[in-house]
Amino acid sequence: MSKATIVSNSSGSDTGIILRTENITKVFPGTVALDQVNYNIYHGKINVLVGENGAGKSTLMKILAGNEQCTKGRVILEGEEIHIRSPQDAMRYGIGIIYQELDLCPNMSIAENIFLAREVVHHGIIDKRTQQQHTSELIQRLEHKIDPSTLVSDLRIGAQQIVTIAKALAQDTRILVMDEPTSALSTTEVKVLFRVIYELKSHGITIVYISHKLDEVLQIGDCISVLRDGRLVAKEDVKNIDLHWIIEKMIGRKLETLFTRKKHKIGKVLLRAENITLPRVSGGYAVNHVSFELGKGEILGIYGLKGAGRSELLECLVGANPLATGKIWLGDQDIGDKTTLKRIQAGLVLVPEDRQRDGLVLTLSVTHNMILASLEKYLNRFRLYLVKNKEKKAVNTLIKELSIRVADPKNLVVSLSGGNQQKVVVAKGLLTNPKVLMLDEPTRGIDVGAKHEVFEIMENLAAQGYGILFVSSELKEILAMSDRILVMSKGTITSNFTAEEATEAKLINASVAGNGLENKGEQ
Amino acid sequence: MGEDKATKAKRLKRITRTDILEFVMKGRVFFALIIVIAVFTLISPGFLNIANIIIMSKHVAIYAVLGIGMTFVMISGGIDLSVGSIVGLSAMIAGGLIDEGIQLNQFGLIVFPHTWMVIIITLFVGIVMGAINGLVITRFKVAPFIATLGMLYIARGFAGLRNNGYTFSNLIGKSEFGNKGFERLGAGNFLGISYSIWIMVVFAMVAFFVMTRLPFGRQVFAIGGNRRAAKLSGVRTNQIETIVYMISGFCSAMVGLIIASQLVAAHPATGTGFELTTIAAVVLGGTSLSGGRGSIGGTIIGAFVIGVLSDGLVILGFSTFLQNIIKGIVIIVAVVIDQIQISMQERLALQRQELK
């Protein structure tokens, strides 16, 4: 990798491709994440990559960063095939990546993080001063003023993002991949980040920018590539396209068939919550005096940005947070001060957002996961021990009902694909005979087909008289599925729309209400 | 589905081959046991004589009973370092009750409980010690390693304090006090097999049933595999975790009783170092230190390997130093194979997926 080859290639070739992939295929248990992707990254440009959740964007980037190995295919950097077997390899080739979940050690200082595993040593002893000096220079280059000895845990998310960028730059990165860099940032922080990105571009650094926020993409991108279901379906210069083009390419023809919501009657109130409040340890409220009602057979969507308090609200409702206060009625029963177990028995069940962290026990089989919340149902007549046949019957019924694709329920749950894992969590909830089912981001990280099935399941359940509360960050999902939509921002409910009156614009407006305008929750 | 016969046959063949591999890997501790016994018998043909078998099986029973309690703890994702000390404390409690009785000074009375009451009181003390472990861990959020390390010292301290560091000897009781027969627990036998082995068998069967057939067992697995998910599924995590340590305390007290009875004496240093041997047996049996994986059957076989190995090496005249080296190697190799098996299973799962 000498300087000479770089120069000759970038000037000599008119296409200006710095890196391309040839027929990259990646197979995960149960899903083909990438299917023969030929992806081009143009030198010195801001290359935007978009696609729905689970379209394969992150997987593609992980392959380039050396965190995953592709099943088939080649990666070509400046005309030469390279093999990226580890993050260290990627670094050597000048590929740096900034993940959605920032990979910093919060217990260490900025300088220590930036020089992690590449410490500047003098006679075997870390040269703290040089490290800090380099760090200061890097941070200044990114138009920030932060003391390099500050602990990362003391920084705001936006500043942490800058640190990760500095970390990548410190490694002489030529291609910088940013995976959803703005998902946790405030509007002003996004502006700062964009300035930094332009600055990097002017220094000849190639940027790959992955985002869900399409308006951002149009604003910052030079060229765009669209992934759908693991395939690269389109590439174009950003100046030639508009928002409709992106959406059309992302969703494909499945747009009409995906969400069809039948109208149905909404019965009497099933779940009533009053003044649900969850104080934040750092002051203010994560959930700020939230009240709402949910009717029988109703699908109530909760929309909001990350950190708006949606997941926290659901956790309060299910009794997972001891600091939560407020009144909750399920039917006529007051369950506000009951334990999680009692609430589940009363008929309130949560399908958590992060299924691997909160929903599943990965060391157990599909069967054992499914029946975990309803074990007492499978006891023998004298309630002494579990009866295998009862378990099997219940599990098989739900496998059929939710069409979970599993060879044998005795297999470990990790061997299933994301969508099927999600259905296992839903099945676990349904086996408790709930009245109200709460789903937190039920379609996160699952493919389009599985999404469709999850929606079908929700719709069927609502038709059977369950009350369904579901949280989603995806506008079109929430618009298509909900009878009514609550929008949360900064821990409070800012709006309440019926399905008819809700539009994307209204939801977005409501979701940013309170950001900088009013600060009721932050006292 | 739509595949022709040839590919189907190919797939079947392939799966059977990998299945055999999996079977060998899963039964590896058992095969290891057979190999150990075979090697010892080859080196010294008299190795498997009755006297040796009786000695070995008594030792195995002790590690197995402790291991059963430890398996519960480790599957729940914890660890119990206090088992050896609780063994010592329970031995001293039982010895004291038989030799000195319960002294009620304010009434000028000394009560000598019946032998069966001695046993029940001692077991109860074990359960209480375990409960303290569990409560400290769950209520005060102390890491299990630290909480039980503290208990290791505390219980050992109390064991010494009970008789100022002296042994309670000659625990045969007196017929006028109605507390005779304690030594039968260690020396007696049923159908020619010593009681301690029967205790192991009964404990193992009950534990196996609890682990596989009771909601409690499932919940222990769930807590060890994913605490948050278990909690959100309505598992009373604190309660289950506390019970798990109580089981371990109970098993330790049982072992304290067995040893005191076998020796007809209770020494405050009884059971020193047992915690590590027990953990070794459990880990050998395939239970994961990070929780969520393991089995009672594995632990029993692990206890056999450890017991046969330690006694066998003594019988064959290996020096203590060599014994330690060999034991250490066996433990590490077992865990290495365990890790290989996990990654192999993942690879196999992936392969099967790709075939579809």
Residue A241 lies in a domain: yes
**DSSP secondary structure, A310-353, as one string:** HHHHHHHHHT--TT-EEEEEETTEE-TT--HHHHHHHTEEEE-S
Distances (CA, A) of A317 to A322, A338, A436, A492, B210: 11, 10, 11, 15, 32
Residues A241 and A297 in one domain: no
Q: What is the ipTM of this complex?
A: 0.73
Top mean pLDDT of A20-29, A404-413, B64-73, B288-297 is at B64-73
Give yes or no for a contact between A56 and A68, defined as CB atoms under 8 angstroms apart: no
Q: Quick one: A151 exposed, middle or buried, by C-beta within 10 A (0-12, 13-18, 19+)? A: middle
A145 vs A192: CA distance, rounded Å: 13
Do A90 and A217 sit in the same domain of this protein?
yes
Chain A CB within 8 Å of residue B211 CB: no
Flag whether residue B12 sits within 8 Å of chain A, measured between CB atoms.
no
Task: For A364-491, list the strands marked E by DSSP.
Answer: 436-440, 467-472, 484-489
Q: What are the sequence ranges of the domains in chain B?
A: 14-355
Position of tokens 């295998």? Answer: A388
Binding-face residues of A in 287-346 toward B, CB within 8 A: 318, 320, 339-341, 343-345
Q: Are A319 and A278 in contact (CB under 8 A)?
A: no
Chosen for mutation from A27, A35, A372 (greatest number of chain B CBs closer than 10 Å) is A372
Average pLDDT over residues A24-47: 83
CB–CB of A385 and B214 under 8 A?
yes
| pLDDT band for position B203 (cuts 50, 70, 90) | very high
Minimal Cβ distance to A362: which of B226, B236, B350? B226
Euclidean distance between CA atoms B117 and A77, whole angstroms? 79
What is the CATH classification number for the domain harbouring A232? 3.40.50.300
DSSP B63-116: HHHHHHHHHHHHHTT---TTHHHHHHHHHHHHHHHHHT-EEEGGGTEEE---HH
Averaged pLDDT for residues B113-141? 91
C-beta separation of B223 from B290 below 8 A: no
A105 found inside a domain: no
* B353 closest CB neighbour out of A29, A357, A359: A29
User: What's the CA gap between A407 and B183, in Å, rounded?
Assistant: 55
Residue A241 reports pLDDT greater than 80: yes
Within-domain flag for A255: no
* Per-residue buried b or exposed e for A358-368, using 16+ beta carbons within 10 Å of the residue's own CB: bbbbbbbbbbb
Same domain (yes/no): A284, A235: no
Domain range enclosing A331: 266-344+481-523
Q: Nearest C-alpha of chain A: how many angstroms from B36?
A: 30
Residue A305 belongs to some domain of the structure: yes
In the prediction, which pLDDT does B1 show? 42
SS3 sequence, A198-230? HHHHHCCCEEEEECCCHHHHHHHCCEEEEEECC
Domain count, chain A: 2
Residue scoring higher pLDDT (A380 or B66): B66
* Least confident interval from A199-208, A476-485, B90-99: A476-485
Which tens digit of pLDDT belongs to each residue from A380-412? 888 788 888 888 888 988 888 887 878 788 888
Report chain A's terminal Cα–Cα distance, integer Å: 55
pLDDT of residue A403: 79
* pLDDT higher than threshold 60 for residue A4: no
CATH number of B14-355: 1.10.3470
Task: Give B16's pLDDT tier (boundaries 50, 70, 90).
Answer: low
Judge if A232 and A277 occupy the same domain: no
Residue matched to tokens 């839903």:
A426
pLDDT of residue B78 exceeding 80, the answer is: yes
The residue of chain B nearest to residue A377, with distances taken between CA atoms, is B215
Interchain CB contact of A431 with B (< 8 Å) = no
Count the alpha carbons within 13 Å of A262 in the hemisphere toward its beta carbon.
12
Q: Determine, yes or no, domain membership for A138.
A: no
Q: Does B240 lie at the interface with A, CB-CB under 8 angstroms?
A: no
Inspect the interface and report whether the beta carbons of A350 and B228 lie closer than 8 Å.
no
* Residue A464 counted as domain residue: no
- Residue A27 pLDDT: 80
Q: Nearest-CA residue of chain A relative to B223? A: A361
User: What residues in B contact A363, CB-CB < 8 Å?
Assistant: 221, 224-226, 288, 291-293
Q: Which residues of B touch A411 (CB under 8 A)?
A: 349
Does residue A2 surpass a pLDDT of 50? no
- The model's pLDDT over A77-103, given as tens digits with 9 standing for 90+, comes to 888 888 888 888 888 888 888 877 677
Place of tokens 């493919």: A447
Nearest to B228 among A358, A371, A432 (CB): A358
Mean pLDDT within B84-108: 85
- Name the domain boundary from A196, A221, A249: A249
Name the residue type at position A275.
Answer: N
The phi, psi pair for A390, rounded to 5°, reads -65, -40
A1 and A88 together in one domain: yes
Number of Cβ within 10 Å of residue B334's Cβ equals 19
> B316: Cβ–Cβ under 8 A, 6 or more apart, which residues?
B40, B43, B44, B47
pLDDT at A11 over 50: no
Residues in chain A: 523
| Residue of A345, A375, A432 with shortest CB distance to B218 | A375
Q: Which residues pair with A77 in a beta bridge?
A: A19, A80
**Same domain flag for A229 and A275:** no
Q: Is residue A522 part of a domain?
A: yes
Neighboring chain B residues of A432 at a CB cutoff of 8 Å:
234
Please state, rounded to an integer, the average pLDDT across all residues of chain B: 83
Are B218 and A386 within 8 A, CB to CB? yes
CB A378, CB A349: distance < 8 Å: no
Antiparallel, parallel or unpaired: β A299-304 and A484-489: parallel
Indicate yes or no: CB of A361 within 8 angstroms of CB of B222. Answer: yes
Summarize pLDDT for A168-192 with one digit per residue, the tens.
888 888 899 988 887 767 777 788 8
